[in-house]
Amino acid sequence: MSRGTTYITLFLVMIVWGFNVVAVKYLVDHFPPVAMQGGRILIAAVSALIVLWFLKDLRKLRLSEWGWIACAALFGQLGHHSLLAIGLTGTTASNASLILGLIPVTTALLAILFLNDRLTKLRGIGIAAGFAGVAVVVTQNGDTAYMARGDFLVFLSMISQAVSFIFIKKISGSVSPRQLTGVMLLIGSLMLLGLSFLLENPGSEAVTGHSGLVWLVFFSSAVLATGLGHILYNAAIHRIGAGQTAIFNNLVPFFALVGAFFLLGETILLTQIAGFVLIVTGVILGTGYADMKIRQRKKTGKPYQA
């Protein structure tokens, strides 16, 4: 895959992921939230593992590797997806997408706190800008400033996902990123389904009486967004590096806002646009991407290139 093809592929994945936030918001109105996420992630896991089997990218895992992957699934699948689904029953897709846009900055902050990553002035400014952007989004509801319950749960889901990336970083050196993704999805889906039976006790009525459109959105979200999307994203990381790949994540909130406006009829507020600008700025600075480019320019003496 050429660099240009990789960029195009990443752009398409970001479109799919942005619209997937809208899809999950749509699906929580038709299914029990946690059960829906469990079923969706299970289908994604099976799809991903089938692809990896054909690619011959599966091997027997050691017990310690299973442990790290289970920890990553606990936060990245069970925590993130259950809190996100329940949260979306009480907030808009546009708000949720902007809050989730803070994941790279939160991951960078956790890496500074627990993995001894370097905190520079630009990274500090970026982290502050990112959280300020989310504060602008979630504390505005008409004329009253407060954080709605749905926004708070999505915020917790964002933190849970960021924590999972710390575990993923611990194990990614020994396990193929694609196999790691597939196994983590499988473990996480079983955790979600178990939790759904404890919280929601879904019966046969949870999967009957839905239109063809609902099932089309459900399977498209599972296979395309969660299954295939993560495989392509991990392949891009291998091709162009994590730094350049992560920058594309800034497009996810944008496409989610577009999808929420046109498909769900949500109103896009000026505070959300302001929050989006702050969050994107925070990601570029807070993840260390700007520092990396500055160091490259000083080393080579060439003008800055994105």
Q: Which of 4-13, 152-161, 169-178, 249-258 has the highest mean pLDDT?
A: 152-161
User: Of 118-127, 168-177, 222-231, which range is least confident?
Assistant: 168-177
pLDDT reading at 304 higher than 50: no
Instruction: Please report which confidence band the pLDDT of residue 184 belongs to, taking 50, 70 and 90 as the band edges.
Output: very high
141 phi, psi to nearest 5 deg: -145, 90
Q: Is-contact 138 95, C-beta < 8 A?
A: yes
| Mean of pLDDT values over 39-44 | 95
Pick from 153, 232, 227: which is nearest to 186 by CA?
A: 227
Q: Exposed/middle/buried for 56, CB within 10 Å: 0-12, 13-18, 19+?
A: exposed
pLDDT reading at 306 higher than 50: no
3-class SS of residue 54:
helix
Pick from 60, 177, 32, 157: which is nearest to 102 by CA?
A: 157
3-class SS of residue 112:
helix
Instruction: Please report which confidence band the pLDDT of residue 63 belongs to, taking 50, 70 and 90 as the band edges.
Output: very high
CA distance 144 to 161: 29
Cα distances (Å, whole numbers) of residue 204 to 25, 89, 142, 208:
22, 21, 40, 6
Reported residue count of the chain is 306
Q: What per-residue confidence (pLDDT) applies to 297?
A: 79
pLDDT reading at 143 higher than 50: no
Q: What is the mean pLDDT of the chain?
A: 87
Q: Is-contact 130 305, C-beta < 8 A?
A: no
pLDDT reading at 305 higher than 60: no
Q: Is-contact 202 88, C-beta < 8 A?
A: no
Question: What percentage of the chain has pLDDT greater than the value 70?
Answer: 91
Cα distances (Å, whole numbers) of residue 261 to 77, 123, 256, 267:
27, 32, 8, 6
In this predicted model, what pLDDT tens digit does every residue of 211-259 receive, in sequence order? 999 999 999 999 999 988 888 887 787 777 665 677 788 788 999 999 9
